[in-house]
Amino acid sequence: MLQYNSSAITPTANFIDNLHTGIFQEILPGIFIIKGAKNDRGFDQAYMILNQKKELILIDAVEEAYQKAIANLLSNGFIIRAILITGKDVLNDCYIDPDSLSKSLGNAEVYISTDISPQGVETKDLTDEDSLLKKFELEGYKVPKKEGQIILYCDRHNGIIFTGNSAMGSDYGGDEFIFTRGREEDKEIALAVEEFWKGFIKEFEFLFPRQGKLGIQIDDRTRVTLLKRLSSGESGLK
């Protein structure tokens, strides 16, 4: 249930599309992707960041399709320190309540936006400067007015953004390669989200969404174009 990238080859979109459901595949050293079950969106994907001492955190791994691979990690001595939930739509897809999910992960901490933290469940703020998040070189950025959506920035491999559903890649089944943020019907919300992307100054080479193709080895010029177009609703990468 855990496959290392011993050849140091960046998996292609076709490779990820054809991955077996429920296998953690290394895509960068210490960074893994796991493909979920087929749904009306195609399939969702979650991520894992691994430290050298078998400690790890999970990002958006809330669906039942991931649980066999996660149980395999636990049975092989890996320690799941936390699960990070990047938005309300991810929370709604959780196959059990967050407290039960935490217990199934060996009592892992649950990190989530305080805007959507379930009542009666002990959680941590995903945007806090937290010692565990710092250990994994992660920072959380709240997307304004978007139901607890958080962008995660990881300071590894020259910068990785885990977008959750805040930016979605194009479908694996086609040739198109764009990122979209969706369209907000409310003008006030749309303007707030536009300003968020306009003001995002972190440099990154990788953009990993919850849905759709990944952005790999993004150069400076493409990054500027990507952020500019996300601020207006979509970003095309050639």
Q: Any idea where the domains of the chain sit in the sequence?
A: 2-236
CATH fit for domain 2-236, picks 3.60.15.10, 2.40.160.40, 3.40.50.1370, 3.20.20.70: 3.60.15.10
What are 155-209's pLDDT values in tens digits? 999 999 999 999 999 999 888 888 988 777 788 888 899 999 999 999 999 999 9
Burial class (CB in 10 A: 0-12, 13-18, 19+), 190: middle
Tell me which H or E stretch contains 234. Answer: strand 234-236
Burial class (CB in 10 A: 0-12, 13-18, 19+), 42: middle
**Angle at alpha carbon of residue 65, lines to 62 and 71, rounded to 5°:** 80
Q: What are phi and psi of 171, to 5 degrees?
A: -65, 140
What are 93-106's pLDDT values in tens digits? 999 999 999 999 99
